[in-house]
Amino acid sequence: MNLENYLPVLLFILVGLGVGILPQVLGHVLGPNKPDFAKLSPYECGFEAFEDARMKFDVRYYLVAILFILFDLETAFFFPWGVSVRELGWNGFLVMMSFIAEFVVGFWYIWKKGALDWE
């Protein structure tokens, strides 16, 4: 086994670590550090925090977040399809129409289940 083949990999790792760590170290060493009471106080939307940071969130918050990510990722398939729809022909068109139908059925299902209702 020739270790010279691993030199580019080692160099890539070292440069990546340097790019990730060096600006942080330089900012910490060269940046001003004058903390006062206002800078060290907790900040929440312009006023003092009034509850514990470890309070429980409603499950619906997480549900809406997961549904947003799910539907956002599904819509990411529309752009490459739109770019190459002419090369795909009717088969590609029909496959995407079935995908959109599945997309609509899923959206209808979560709507009817009340997952998008926020009280």
Contacts of 74 (CB under 8 A, 6+ apart): 103
Taking residues 31-49, report their average pLDDT: 74
Per-residue pLDDT, averaged over 9-13, amounts to: 94
Of residues 7 and 62, the one with the higher pLDDT is 7
CATH number for the region 3-112 comes to: 1.20.58
Residue 23: both structure tokens together: 């600006």
Identify the pLDDT of residue 119. 67
Residue 43 is predicted with a pLDDT of: 66
Q: Are 48 and 41 in contact (CB under 8 A)?
A: yes
Mean per-residue pLDDT, 84-101: 90
Does the pTM surpass 0.75? The reply is no
**What is the crossing angle of helices 59-75 and 85-112, to 10°?**
160
Q: What is the rounded CA–CA span in Å between residue 28 and residue 9? A: 29
Which comes out higher in pLDDT, residue 55 or 63? 63
- The confidence score (pLDDT) of residue 41 equals 75
**What is the reported pLDDT for 78?**
84
In the three-class reduction of DSSP (H, G, I as helix; E, B as strand; rest coil), residue 47 is classed as strand
Instruction: Tell me the longest C-alpha to C-alpha distance in the chain.
Output: 66
| Residue keyed to tokens 């139908």 | 101
